[in-house]
Amino acid sequence: MLCHLFTAFFDVEAVERLDFYYSGEVSQPVIVSMGQALKRQLAIGDGQGTKTRKVFSAYVEMLQNVVRYAEGREGAVIVCQVAGEHLVACANRVAKRDADALKAKLETVLAASQEDVREAYRAQLRQAQIGADGGAGLGLLTLARESSKPMEYRFVDQVVDQDAAADGFCYFLLKATL
C-alpha cells in the first residue's frame, strides 16, 4: 500500500471529501473501469462542468503515465478535496537512475508561466512526430495547463514495504490542484 505516501502533500485529517482512492496494479482496463466509477462519483454531466472534467483528465494522464513508465506498473492514486480544492495525486516506483531526467522535465514545466505552458503545449501538438517517450512531455504540459496552481512533486526514498526494498528504486509523487 502506497497511501501513506500522500501525507507528503497533506494530512489525512485535512481531507474533507475523499472521492476515490486506489493502490495496486494499473492497466488500461483498470483505468477505464475505475474511471467510470470516478465519473459517477464526481457526477460528470450533472452540471458540475469543467472542474470534474479536469479532475478526470488529471486522473487519466497520471495513471497512463504509470502504465508507460512505472516500475512494475503499480501505483496509487487519490482524488480528494482539501481546503475546498480538488486534488489528484499519484505515487509510483521509479528507478533512481531515471529520477534526474524526470525531475528536469518537471522543473522545466513548473518554472514556466501559464502562457509559456500553453505555447509549449501547442508547439508539441504541432510537432509531426509522436515522441519516442509516448508523449510524456505533452502529458505533463496537459496537467500543468489544466491545473489551477503549480503542481507539486516529491521523490521519496523510504522503504514502503518489503517488496519495494530493492536498491535502485525510489517513489515518485505528483500532485495537481484542479
Partner 1 sequence: MDLYCVATADTPEIVFKFSTNTFIVSGEAYPEDADKFFRPFISQLQKHLDAGNGQLMVFNFRLAYFNSVTAKILYDLFGRLADYAKAYPGAVVLNWHYDVEDDMMSDFGLEIKEDYPELTFNAVTSDGR
* Cα(18)–Cα(53) distance, integer angstroms: 17
Please, which residue, 7 or 28, has the CB nearer to partner 1? Answer: 28
Provide, rounded to whole angstroms, the least separation between the CB of residue 87 and partner 1.
Answer: 18
Segment 134-141 long-range contacts (CB within 8 Å, at least 24 positions apart): 134/68, 136/65, 136/68, 136/69, 136/105, 137/105, 139/61, 139/64, 139/65, 140/105, 140/106, 140/109, 141/109, 141/117
Q: Kindly state whether residue 64 participates in binding partner 1, applying the rule CB under 8 A.
A: yes
φ, ψ of residue 21 in degrees (nearest 5): -145, 140
Please, which residue, 54 or 171, has the CB nearer to partner 1? Answer: 54
Give me the 4-33 binding string for partner 1, x by CB under 8 A, dash otherwise. ------------------------x--xxx
Interface pick for partner 1 out of 4, 17, 96, 122 (rule CB under 8 A): 122
Q: Kindly state whether residue 150 participates in binding partner 1, applying the rule CB under 8 A.
A: no
Residues touching partner 1, count (CB under 8 A): 31
Find out whether 75 and 150 touch, Cβ atoms under 8 Å: no
* Site of grid cell 489528484: 88
Q: Supply 171's cell numbers.
A: 517513489
Interface pick for partner 1 out of 125, 148, 149, 159 (rule CB under 8 A): 125
Please, which residue, 24 or 45, has the CB nearer to partner 1? Answer: 45
Q: 53 CB contacts (<8 Å, ≥6 apart)?
A: 44
* Cα(143)–Cα(20) distance, integer angstroms: 19
Interface pick for partner 1 out of 76, 138, 170, 173 (rule CB under 8 A): 138
Q: Kindly state whether residue 108 participates in binding partner 1, applying the rule CB under 8 A.
A: no
Which residues here bind partner 1, judged by CB under 8 A?
28, 31-33, 35-36, 45, 49-50, 53-54, 56-57, 60-61, 64, 67, 122, 124-128, 130, 134-135, 138-139, 141-142, 146
